[in-house]
Amino acid sequence: MEKLSASFLRSYQPASGLAVGKATEHLPERVLQFGEGNFLRAFVDSMIHQLNQHNLFNGRVVVVQPIAEGLAGQLNEQNGLYTLLLRGLQGGKITEHKEIIAAVSRGLNPYTQWEEVLQCAENPSTEFIVSNTTEAGIVFDPADKFTHTPPVSFPGKLTAYLYRRYTHFQGDPAKGLIMLPCELIDRNGDNLKSAVLRLAAAWNRPAAFSQWVENCNTFANTLVDRVVTGYPRDEAQELQRQFGYIDELMDTGEIFHLWVIEGPQALSERLPFHKIGLDVIWTNDMTPYRTRKVRILNGAHTSSVPAAFLYGLETVQEMMEHPVTGKFIRQIMQDEILPSLEFSGLDKKMLNEFSASVVERFENPFIKHYLLSILLNSSSKFKARVLPSILEYAKIKGTLPKRLVFSLSALLFVYKDGVIDGTSMKARRPAGEFIMKDDLPVLQFMAERWSAFDGSSAGAAKLAKEILANEAIWGENLNRIAGLTEMTGHYLHLLNTRGMQKTIAGLIR
């Protein structure tokens, strides 16, 4: 079987139900994208593909892989082409869109092609920069250097790229760009801009460059929402047989999508997603959308997944269908997360509707979302997505939300018996061994604390106290929250002596 590529596509008779759009090879590169991961390919790139198919954008995306390991080579082997499968229920009907996405012109590896990345800055057609470098990507790294080829961090690479653009076009205000970062951190655009300006100063670039960055470029804050489940490893062979080609970059996700962009409404005319019915909202305040999504959707994931994973389940769908874990997640959302948003200023009816729609999305039987992939980097996710709900609930109700606190104990329990293996951790649950990925200092800290655990109830209380005191993980000493240490220690003891299945059964009604 041949691999998907531009030459293969020229003589390809599309398999039934697979959409193959018109050729895009002649279109100019109008977007530079940092990140070649599953999410961006299933979200921004597929939306640009749809615009191109309607002659509403007429531009392609150059993809730069942000770290040394990446997919630029594979993208080039397939001439930027890949198959996207979006599945779910639409208006109650099972729907599946299968399409070859042709928005990407080429992939660049900055570790071997840095000058080519910089040359993209000289392209007058470029207007947009898109990124998704995970929560770890938008950081100011004082050790990063202008002279590195390439600079280590994503903001470092972007600063060098913008500097080349600024010098090449002699500070032309019209050559400023629109940055649309998609990282799931709060106010991603503001943070990216601040990191770029700090690097420009640290690297002694002229003040006029910083003014050009500030005045002639737009760094929009954006919020993205689509469950993207990536390469369909369990059905890849069958799909390749159906399609008649090999595609190593196949990608899957749900049909639901929402992109909220805090930026001037006028920009929507340059990226007219609304004209083809895509759910992209331009607003002057994205905060409510972010609070709603991060606290309800991501909060529900992060608070339920450790328990369901230790229970022995593998996917979100299994978790939703299971009589115990299914109740656990729904009750967490209904009884603890939603009440914690009571004074958020968000409309109660809208929150209830969003929560119900999230349950439906999690029930989506057509996508396979692995719990282990959601567990990745759970400590920082817990701090951003669940801890605010625990704290707000306690403030409003004067008591702690027991299931959310239990979810903290369940997360800590995931690291029990973990042994550091390189940069990750080999851990164990009753169903067998697994690899837990998190920041290395977090993994080391957890492994060290658990190794001193003596199995007693007092030992569990001590462990909870030590772990909750770690301000580097939680942003504050959580022992200060009345009752939290005792409750966390209590659940740790129950998990250790009775196991997940018996303990969680006592937490649902």
Ligand X SMILES: NC(=O)c1ccc[n+]([C@@H]2O[C@H](COP(=O)([O-])OP(=O)(O)OC[C@H]3O[C@@H](n4cnc5c(N)ncnc54)[C@H](O)[C@@H]3O)[C@@H](O)[C@H]2O)c1
Ligand Y SMILES: O=P(O)(O)OC[C@@H](O)[C@@H](O)[C@H](O)[C@H](O)CO
Pick from 61, 184, 333, 492 the residue near ligand Y by CB under 6 A.
Answer: 184
Residues 221-250 binding ligand Y (CB under 6 A) are 225-227
CB nearer to ligand Y: pick between 381 and 449:
381
Q: Which of 148, 165, 130 is nearest to 199 (CA)?
A: 148
- Euclidean distance between CA atoms 29 and 127, whole angstroms: 9
374 near ligand Y (CB under 6 A) = yes
Does residue 137 bind ligand X (CB under 6 A)? Answer: yes
* One-letter amino acid of 75: L
- Contacts of ligand X in 337-376 (CB under 6 A): none
- Give the chain's radius of gyration (CA, Å): 24
- Please choose, from the candidates 226, 250, 223, the residue with its C-alpha nearest in 3D space to the C-alpha of residue 236: 250
Q: Which of 293, 281, 424, 276 is closest to 358 using CA atoms?
A: 293
Please count the residues of this chain forming the interface with ligand Y, following the rule CB under 6 A: 9
Instruction: Give min distance, CB of 294 to ligand X, in A.
Output: 10
Phi then psi dihedrals of residue 117, to 5 deg: -65, -45
- 139 scored as a contact of ligand Y (CB under 6 A): no
Closest residue by Cα to residue 472 from 444, 450, 494? 444
d(CA 488, CA 494): 10
Q: Which of 108, 228, 296, 337 binds ligand X (CB under 6 A)?
A: 228
Smallest distance from ligand X to CB 420, Å: 19
Interface with ligand X (CB under 6 A), residue from 29, 77, 116, 135: 135
Which of ligand X, ligand Y, none has residue 298 at its interface (CB below 5 to 8 Å by kind)? ligand Y
Location of structure tokens 């999410």: 39
Q: How far is the CB of 188 from ligand Y (least distance, A)?
A: 13
67 binds ligand X (CB under 6 A): yes
Cα-to-chain-centroid distance, residue 146? 28
Name which position in 5, 38, 304, 355 contacts ligand X (CB under 6 A): 38
Beta bridge mates, 178: 128, 218
Q: Would you count residue 184 as binding ligand X (CB under 6 A)?
A: yes
Task: Return the residue nearest ligand Y (CB atom).
Answer: 301
Which helix (H) or strand (E) element contains residue 215? helix 207-216
The CA distance from 491 to 326, in Å, is 20
Interactions with ligand X, residue window 418-437 (CB under 6 A): none
The mark string for 75-114 relative to ligand X (x by CB under 6 A, - otherwise) is: ----------------------------------------
Q: Contact at 8 Å (CB) between 489 and 464? A: yes
Is 134 near ligand X (CB under 6 A)? Answer: yes
Residue 132 touching ligand X (CB under 6 A): yes
- Tokens 């009440």 correspond to what residue? 339
CB neighbour list of residue 95: distance below 8 Å, 6 or more residues apart? 87, 88, 89, 255
d(CA 453, CA 458): 10
Q: 280-309 mask for ligand Y (x: CB under 6 A)?
A: -----------------xx--x--------
Asked if residue 277 lies in contact with residue 327, where contact means CB atoms within 8 angstroms, the answer is: no
Near ligand X by CB under 6 A, which window of 85-93, 126-134, 159-167, 173-181?
126-134
Which residues of the shown chain bind ligand X in the complex (CB under 6 A)?
35-39, 65-67, 70, 132-137, 154, 184, 224, 226-228, 230
Which residues of the shown chain bind ligand Y in the complex (CB under 6 A)?
184, 225-227, 297-298, 301, 374, 376
